[in-house]
Amino acid sequence: MDRSIPAIITGLVLLGVLVLMWRSWRKRSRRDAALTAGYPMPDNSGAALAGAETYYVATTPRDAPLERLAIGGLGFRARAAVTVTEAGVTLDLDGNQPVFIPGSAIDAVGAAQVAIDRVVETDGLVRLSWRLATGSASGPDDRRAVDSFFRIIDPNDRARLVDTIQTIAATAHQDESEA
């Protein structure tokens, strides 16, 4: 039997899959085009309280860890540095501009096991739950809730990073309620 016919069929199937993947990513990119990564970087964010080298996995809609958002600067996996200051969290992904998340936009930080194409040991990922900035400023309810996932490279940095993020988020929310 001639092997060229199965090879052609296999090639066409693979080409079809690649075309569908490309089309899906374009559609997702158009859907998420209005979303912006982070907030304006403050002039003085304060002293660094904690930091860690991480692998950035993805940013997804809240409680939908298998649906990647195509947000500029947060659309692809990368090595990253996460720095926590008094003002918020800065995500510095390799090859992208730093993304700043103020403490008031952070809802929670915790552990996760699954995100997009990454499944790790129990509590192997850090999940940062926060709200994206939007064009209107009518209140926190109009900001889209998302989760960003990271894998901390040095496990010794994990507890300090998570505790510091929880502290600055609680402080920012307390300051908001008092204002």
Query: Whole-angstrom Cα distance, residue 4 to residue 78?
Result: 40
Q: What is the pLDDT of residue 143?
A: 61
Q: What is the pLDDT of residue 92?
A: 92
SS3 137: coil
**Nearest 5°: phi and psi at 63?**
60, 25
Give the DSSP letter string of 6-35.
HHHHHHHHHHHHHHHHHHHHHHHHHHTTT-
Res. 1: pLDDT tops 70: no
Tell me: the pLDDT tens digits for 34-75? 788 888 888 887 788 999 999 999 898 988 888 888 888 888
**Contact in structure between 109 and 127 (CB atoms under 8 Å):** yes
Tell me: the pLDDT tens digits for 7-28? 999 999 999 999 999 998 888 8
**Nearest 5°: phi and psi at 138?**
-80, -5
